[in-house]
């Protein structure tokens, strides 16, 4: 079916449950003790497929902390076998909930083996979600817009809790009667309302946002959440304190619901103003980028530093030292364990570079860029401000390399900087490469055979703030 010689858009969506078994270890906090004791709300792999003739993109969100690039490749290959969708057209992002199963080896669970049985079932679930979405496509219209929300995320590294990104990116899919069928929201914030003391599986605040949006758009409504540049954005909880097990007030399911509903309300208000089209340009590109790796100490030195930190903490604990001595010792031990883990990992990267994939999508006049890390919000704001197009950033997508701080953040130090694998100029390189990628999406050569006029969103351009 065509309109004025243009292929008409077809869209499909699906979700498959990926909740782990009770008793599975939970990922996200180095200081968490114990395994999952129950499921507060189920976790899902959610997929949205948009097809305009032969141009197809598949957007997937999984309620997990993170996934490795190796796992992403495995699943993309499986999706291609089942649907024919090319790997470079499949984006798989983790919401970054800290109350899901262990799916990747990191410095806070280096000795925990990832459950291969669960990972097999996860691969099947993600592939099935995209396959179901592909097989249930319907004639549709799609639009891209934005909302503004305040009171959800704050900058956890800044005394005034700024800057933040108030923008909520929105992809709205309507049927041909104008009824909303699916909504994707993109917002920058750690889903860490629940802290290291929580032992219930949960998607955290995004789950409550999704549920409210789905209730409001109809009985068959579908919503999904994709995180943004949330590296230094949370509800205000200190990353250092969370990492060493200090429990701060307000980390409750009630608070998670409150924040999720704020996000949903802002989205629902914006939906009617988003203009849709049945002939948008749809394309995707991926590029490979090398980021400069930190210079880690020799492994023997890193091991010795960790042993010294362990001994220091053990001695203070045995002496009954006060909290003001124990807490810095715990932080020292944490930082030593991070350096030890990455020093081992760096042995496999002898050229001193960290290879990553950057992926870009174009939907009409909007660009979406997927980055496999926890990007600081200042970088995301810069990318949006510099782009001549409406641009959104998907974080923790298509792999996981940890934090990507700003150059200034390295001078300030702290947990996120210690946890980053990259040198300070990585942010500058990232901005340059993403800018080039976005330009390619809108070049004549990138439009392909299914090029068509861009549609216009009437939403407020909050990212100019």
d(CA 200, CA 149): 28
* Cβ-based neighbour number of residue 173 at 10 Å: 22
- Residues in CB range of 294: below 8 A, 6 or more apart: 342, 346, 420, 421, 422, 423
Q: What is the pLDDT along the chain (465 residues), one digit of tens a residue?
A: 455 556 689 999 999 999 999 999 999 998 888 899 999 999 999 999 999 988 999 999 999 999 999 999 999 999 999 999 999 999 999 999 999 999 999 887 766 678 999 999 999 999 999 999 999 999 999 999 999 999 999 999 887 788 999 999 999 999 999 999 999 999 999 999 999 999 999 999 999 999 999 999 988 999 999 999 999 999 888 777 777 777 788 899 999 999 999 999 999 999 999 999 999 999 999 999 999 999 999 999 999 999 999 999 999 999 999 999 999 999 999 999 999 999 998 988 878 999 999 999 999 999 999 999 999 999 999 999 999 999 999 999 999 999 999 999 999 999 999 999 999 999 999 999 999 999 999 985 454 333 333 333 333 333 332
What distance, in Å, lies between the first and last C-alpha atoms of the chain?
A: 41
d(CA 105, CA 454): 42
User: Are the C-beta atoms of residues 179 and 218 closer than 8 Å to each other?
Assistant: yes
Q: Token pair for residue 74? A: 């495995």
Helices 116-135 and 69-83: crossing angle, nearest 10°? 40
Q: Token pair for residue 376? A: 């600081």
Alpha helix positions (H), 228-353: 239-243, 253-270, 299-318, 323-346
pLDDT of residue 240: 72
Query: Residue 320: left (phi > 0), alpha (psi -120 to 50), or beta?
Result: left
pLDDT of residue 121: 99
d(CA 438, CA 360): 7
pLDDT of residue 106: 86
Q: Please state the length of the chain.
A: 465
The number of CA neighbours under 13 Å toward the Cβ of 214 is 17
Distances (CA, A) of 255 to 162, 200, 252: 21, 15, 5
Task: Convert 207-222 to b/e letters by CB count within 10 Å (16 or more is b).
Answer: bbbbbbbbebbeeebb
Q: Which residues pair with 227 in a beta bridge?
A: 187
Question: CA 172, 12, 452: angle at the middle one, nearest 5?
Answer: 60
Q: Token pair for residue 75? A: 């699943």
d(CA 91, CA 80): 13
Pairing of strands 55-62, 403-404: unpaired
pLDDT of residue 460: 35
User: Are the C-beta atoms of residues 174 and 141 closer than 8 Å to each other?
Assistant: yes
DSSP 8-state secondary structure symbol assigned to residue 285: E
* Cβ-based neighbour number of residue 151 at 10 Å: 12
Q: Token pair for residue 265? A: 């309300």
Nearest residue to 8 via CA among 134, 141, 137 = 141
- Residues in CB range of 117: below 8 A, 6 or more apart: none
Alpha helix positions (H), 157-204: none
Question: CA 130, 394, 191: angle at the middle one, nearest 5?
Answer: 95
* 3-class SS shares of the chain: helix, strand, coil, % to 5: 35, 25, 40
pLDDT of residue 108: 77
Burial of 324 (0-12, 13-18, 19+ CB in 10 A): exposed
0.85 exceeded by the pTM? yes
């Amino acid at each position: 079916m065509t309109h004025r010689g243009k292929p008409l858009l077809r869209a499909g969506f699906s979700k498959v449950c990926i909740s782990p078994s009770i008793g599975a270890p939970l990922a996200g906090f180095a200081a968490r003790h114990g395994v999952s004791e129950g499921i507060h709300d189920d976790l899902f792999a959610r997929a949205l497929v948009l097809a305009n003739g032969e141009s197809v993109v598949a957007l997937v969100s999984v309620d997990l902390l993170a996934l490795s690039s190796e796992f992403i490749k495995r699943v993309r290959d499986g999706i291609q076998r089942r649907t024919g969708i090319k790997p470079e057209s499949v984006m798989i992002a983790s919401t970054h909930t800290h109350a899901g199963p262990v799916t990747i080896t990191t410095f806070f669970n280096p000795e925990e083996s990832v459950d291969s049985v669960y990972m097999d079932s996860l691969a099947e679930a993600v592939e099935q979600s995209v396959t179901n979405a592909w097989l249930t496509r319907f004639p549709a219209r799609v639009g891209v817009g934005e909302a503004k929300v305040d009171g959800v995320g704050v900058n956890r590294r800044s005394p005034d809790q700024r800057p933040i990104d108030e923008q909520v990116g929105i992809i709205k899919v309507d049927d041909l009667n104008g009824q909303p069928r699916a909504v994707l929201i993109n917002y920058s914030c750690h889903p860490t309302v629940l802290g290291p003391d929580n032992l219930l599986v949960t998607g955290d605040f995004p789950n409550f946002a999704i549920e409210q949006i789905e209730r409001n758009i109809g009985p068959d409504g579908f919503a999904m959440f994709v995180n943004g540049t949330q590296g230094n954005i949370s509800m205000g909880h200190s990353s250092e304190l969370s990492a060493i097990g200090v429990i701060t007030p307000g980390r409750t399911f009630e608070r998670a619901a409150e924040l999720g509903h704020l996000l949903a309300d802002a989205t629902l208000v914006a939906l009617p103003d988003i203009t849709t089209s049945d002939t948008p340009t749809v394309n995707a590109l991926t590029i490979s980028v090398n980021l400069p790796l930190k210079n880690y100490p020799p492994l023997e030195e890193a091991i010795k530093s960790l042993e010294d930190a362990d001994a220091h903490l053990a001695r203070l604990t045995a002496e009954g030292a006060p909290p003001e001595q124990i807490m810095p010792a715990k932080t020292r031990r944490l930082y030593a364990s991070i350096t030890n883990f990455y020093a081992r990992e760096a042995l496999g990267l002898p050229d001193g570079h960290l290879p990553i994939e950057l992926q870009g999508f174009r939907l009409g006049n909007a660009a979406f860029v997927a980055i496999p890390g926890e990007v600081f919000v200042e970088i995301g704001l810069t990318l949006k401000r510099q782009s001549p197009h409406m641009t959104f950033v998907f974080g923790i997508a298509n792999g996981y390399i940890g934090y990507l701080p700003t150059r200034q953040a390295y001078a300030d130090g702290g947990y996120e900087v210690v946890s980053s694998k990259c040198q300070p100029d990585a942010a500058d390189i990232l901005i340059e490469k993403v800018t080039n990628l976005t330009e390619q999406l809108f070049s004549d050569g990138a439009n392909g055979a299914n090029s068509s006029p861009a549609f216009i969103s009437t939403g407020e351009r909050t990212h100019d703030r």
